[in-house]
Amino acid sequence: MSLKGIYTDIVKIRRMVFAEVAKLALSDQEEDEFDQIPYKIIDTEEPTYRSSIFKERAIVAARVRMALGMDYQAHQEHKLLSSSIREFLDNEDTLNTKLVNVIRFACEKCPTKAHYVTDNCRKCLAHPCSIVCPVDAITIAEKRAIIDQEKCINCGKCKEACPYSAIVKYERPCAAACGVDAIESDEYDRAKINHAKCVSCGQCIISCPFGAIADKSMIYQLLKDIKKGLDLRAVIAPSFVGQFGPLVTPEKIITALKKIGITEVREVSLGADAASLHEAELFKNCIPEKQPYLGTSCCPSWTYISDKHLPETREYISESYSPMVVSAESVKEGNSDSKVVFIGPCVSKKLEALSDEVKDHVDYVITFEELAAIFVAADIELTQIDEEEGIYDASKFGRGYANAGGVAAAIQENMQKIYDQKIDYVKADGLAECKKMLIKAKHGQLDGYLLEGMACPGGCVGGPGTLLATRKGARNVAEFAKRAPYRFAGENEKLGDK
């Protein structure tokens, strides 16, 4: 169960950290000012969230390090922030690919997956729970049935058989959110991320009820470049609409971005239009003569599932650049000295931007949550912005990429309009479902199909960097798509500029 869309103390602290880091980036403060951030955020005399106020501040300090893009390292937990920040900031290439990390002393060692009998147990005469158990792990005690955890194989048959719903299954929320089994345990039973399996989707970040998982940020470096007067241009993902409140129009957001020093803003949906045309062409030319199926390419975490977990399927995932890259390329054509920042809902886009193929196109990646913190740091009240300029770069179907099913719908529309051909497609959102779909494809069950994979439940609107509940975000995207200047990618006159 994700905590997404619920404003918890974890969300509050995370956003306060981003805002404080952004404020220091916009000022000319010395490194020792970073040491004050934990005291600004945890400004009480007694602990509020943890066993110790010192622990609370140490966790905030770890979050500050990661908000600066630094590696999480346990041996830094008791050092001043200023002791290592200058060396890091002087090295422009220190951001590495371990983007998502567990803050070890923030982890509360949640129990791993197990089934448990609650007080709802009536100790009934039938006791079907013990009868259906294949390993005889259940006995009927004086007050209730008891499950022997040493024997239990967590098949769930007892839970299904209980007429009183007295048996519950629980597991670590972070592990439950991870569909690729990348959450493991260290020697102290704390959660640990296996980066060989992790696809950097970030769902564990928003699922941990103790706020023990965080990802690195680029906001400090981005704002420093803006402050230097460099030419920064933005490409913004279609799920941005409505993320900053019902009174904040897309026009207000574009204007606010220009107030903080962004020269130009383009829709990532422009790149989505280009990508959907290319993938429709690929499908027309390759399926089924040259390959059995075609997987879409817009979600990095989806392609990482193929890379890391089912490599035999990778050759059938489209090599098309993602919409982020295509839209960034369009910006840099004629603006080769400019830097490009992608603004979106996604953690794995940060990883994509670090790759050799993409790093020359996209310089920075920030989430909507990080952008909100920048607006706070810059004292920009979005509702008070005078609307100045709209954004009209993409088609209805290009903007629809943000919702689950939107990518396949765009490609299908292109196939019908351009080639007069209908196609079969399947879609999956959420890591576990994506992996299941790839396994089916591997075994020949989806030959002739287009495969749309989205790592986040609901699609991009369910990304960890969004500010809204997924369903509300999906409705906003659908409404925004209706206002697009073009219906489908083939009508987009701006594709000649990309």
- pLDDT in the model for residue 32: 80
Q: Which residues contact 317 (CB under 8 A, 6 or more apart)?
A: 294, 295, 296, 297, 302, 303, 306
Q: Number of folded domains in the chain?
A: 3
- pLDDT in the model for residue 93: 52
- pLDDT in the model for residue 83: 74
- Mean per-residue pLDDT over the chain, rounded: 92
pLDDT > 90? residue 207: yes
Q: What percent of the chain has pLDDT over 90?
A: 84
Residue span of the structural domain in which 126 resides: 114-170
- pLDDT in the model for residue 106: 94
Q: How confident is the model at residue 75 (pLDDT cuts 50, 70, 90)?
A: low
- pLDDT in the model for residue 78: 63
Structure tokens of 373? 């913190």
- pLDDT in the model for residue 77: 59
Same domain membership, residue 226 and residue 207: no
Distance of alpha carbon 246 from alpha carbon 303, whole angstroms: 34
Is 440 a member of any domain? yes
DSSP letters for 258-318: HHTTEEEEEEHHHHHHHHHHHHHHHHHHHTTTT-S-EE--S-HHHHHHHHHH-GGGGGGB-
Tens of pLDDT, residue by residue over 100-131, are 999 999 999 998 889 999 999 999 999 999 99
Q: Which residue has the higher pLDDT, 437 or 142?
A: 437
- pLDDT in the model for residue 76: 61
pLDDT > 70? residue 2: no
Same domain membership, residue 444 and residue 323: yes
Tens of pLDDT, residue by residue over 81-107, are 777 777 777 765 556 778 999 999 999
Environment class of 214 (CB within 10 Å of its CB; exposed 0-12, middle 13-18, buried 19+)? buried
CA distances from 191 to 137, 204, 235, 348, 463 (A): 27, 11, 35, 20, 22
Same domain membership, residue 468 and residue 361: yes
Query: Is the omega angle on the peptide bond into residue 288 within 30 degrees of 0, that is, cis?
Result: yes
Task: Assess contact for 72 and 101: CB atoms under 8 A.
Answer: yes
Kindly report the CATH number assigned to the domain that includes residue 126: 3.30.70.20
Is 3 a member of any domain? no
Element (H, E) at 340: strand 339-344
Same domain membership, residue 304 and residue 328: yes
3-state secondary structure of 487: coil
Q: What percent of the chain has pLDDT over 70?
A: 97
Same domain membership, residue 358 and residue 446: yes
- pLDDT in the model for residue 80: 76
Average pLDDT over residues 441-463: 97
pLDDT > 70? residue 498: no
Same domain membership, residue 142 and residue 24: no
Is 287 a member of any domain? yes
Q: What is the DSSP letter of 387?
A: P
Is 45 a member of any domain? yes
Structure tokens of 466? 């969004």
Same domain membership, residue 319 and residue 361: yes
Same domain membership, residue 158 and residue 51: no
Query: Poorest-confidence range of 208-217, 385-394, 476-485?
Result: 385-394
Distance of alpha carbon 493 from alpha carbon 311, whole angstroms: 38
- pLDDT in the model for residue 84: 73
Tens of pLDDT, residue by residue over 146-167, are 999 999 999 999 999 999 999 9
Rg (alpha carbons) of the chain, rounded to whole number: 24
Q: How confident is the model at residue 60 (pLDDT cuts 50, 70, 90)?
A: very high
Is 4 a member of any domain? no
